[in-house]
Amino acid sequence: MFALSFVTLAAASVARAATYTVSDSFIGTSFLNGFTHEAIADPTHGRVNYVSQATAQSLNLTYASGNTFILRSDYTTTLNPSGAGRNSVRIQSKKQWSTHVEILDVRHMPQGCGSWPAYWTTNTNNWPAAGEIDIIEGVNDQAPNAATLHTTAGCTQPFTLNGNAGCGVKNPLVNSYGPSFNANGGGWYAMERTSTYIKVWFWPRNSATVPAQVKNGASNIDTSSWGKPFAAFVNNSCNIASHFGPENIIINLTFCGDWADYVNKNPAAFKNAYWDIAALRVYQ
């Protein structure tokens, strides 16, 4: 979720698919072992102060129990405009993946004016050469969600779309992001990455279209049975293998700099600025 995108064009769905077996499963406290809280300066220059795991747990900004993993921002402190930003969290997986499928089962995502949540993959030590895939990203509760690629020069996509062109492919479902997503109990996001294509799916909670293997957290999956993704990026004029290297998974919550004064003065507005994640599974 860096501020600058070199190429962010959308492509049509492709038919290729594959079968995968679960290699990593993050549920509840296993997030604390598999991810690192990054107490770093925000690369997007948001009005945020990312804190360590110890600080996040002591302030109840991170909570894990059973099949619940919570990441949230502070919502009680009025900020000094010349001081640090609002306390929040950014976690990065300790492992990296290339060809794989990842499925995020999320009940609630951060909402509130000025909130800027994201679920994405990249290699921050080799950006933008290793590419970036934004699976969930938005600001100010503005639905729907959009999936976006960021690369170095030399990566373009055809304009035949299953979605809308622009900085990425917009999901046609309003409940794919923000308050509508939360009111519906969330849903599942999935991303499949190979050396020749990248696909992203979304299924709302309780939708009849959710594949049973996704809903039930199956050990083995077959993406050919999932139906058409809302976004697919192909290899026609973008060498996926050379523009995307091994990447970490990142989940974070920052705040839009344009809303800094609002973020400073209205802590209660961020009471619902939290992630409630049931599970994250990676398949290879």
- What does the alpha-carbon distance between residue 282 and residue 284 come to, in Å, rounded to a whole number? 7
pLDDT above 90 coverage of the chain, percent = 83
- What does the alpha-carbon distance between residue 77 and residue 58 come to, in Å, rounded to a whole number? 15
The angle subtended at Cα 272 by Cα 106 and Cα 275, nearest 5°, is 25
**pLDDT top residue among 248 and 159:** 248
**Model pLDDT, residue 158:** 63
CA proximity to 121, closest of 110, 109, 129, 131:
131
pLDDT tens readout for residues 172-227: 999 999 999 999 999 999 999 999 999 999 999 999 999 999 999 999 999 999 99
List the alpha helices (DSSP H) in the chain: 30-34, 53-58, 178-183, 212-215, 240-243, 260-265
Whole-model pTM: value is 0.92
Q: Is residue 205 part of a domain?
A: yes
DSSP class of 247: B
Q: Is residue 250 part of a domain?
A: yes
Structure tokens, 249:
């998974």
Q: Is residue 4 part of a domain?
A: no
Domain count, the chain: 1
Confidence of residue 258 (pLDDT cuts 50, 70, 90): confident
> Is it the case that residue 255 has pLDDT exceeding 80?
yes
> Is it the case that residue 163 has pLDDT exceeding 60?
no
Q: Is residue 174 part of a domain?
A: yes
pLDDT above 70 coverage of the chain, percent = 90
φ/ψ of residue 135, rounded to 5: -90, -45
**pLDDT top residue among 164 and 45:** 45
Largest Cα–Cα separation, the chain = 53
Q: Is residue 217 part of a domain?
A: yes
**Model pLDDT, residue 259:** 80
- Residue 190 CA from chain centroid, whole number: 10
Active site residues: 132, 137
| Helices then strands, each counted (H, E), the chain | 6, 18
> Is it the case that residue 166 has pLDDT exceeding 60?
no
**Model pLDDT, residue 4:** 33
Q: Is residue 5 part of a domain?
A: no
- What does the alpha-carbon distance between residue 85 and residue 64 come to, in Å, rounded to a whole number? 24
Confidence of residue 160 (pLDDT cuts 50, 70, 90): very low
**What mean pLDDT value characterizes the chain?**
91
> Is it the case that residue 157 has pLDDT exceeding 80?
no
Q: How many CB atoms lie within 10 A of CB 127?
A: 17
Range of the domain at 67: 19-283
- What does the alpha-carbon distance between residue 70 and residue 68 come to, in Å, rounded to a whole number? 6
Q: Is residue 190 part of a domain?
A: yes
Helix (H) or strand (E) holding 106: strand 100-108
In the numeric block, the tokens 């059973």 are attached to 66
Do residues 147 and 128 lie in contact, with contact meaning Cβ atoms separated by under 8 Å?
A: no
**pLDDT top residue among 87 and 11:** 87
> Is it the case that residue 152 has pLDDT exceeding 70?
yes
CATH code where residue 178 lies = 2.60.120.200
CA proximity to 192, closest of 157, 237, 158, 230:
230
Q: Is residue 7 part of a domain?
A: no
Q: How many CB atoms lie within 10 A of CB 28?
A: 16
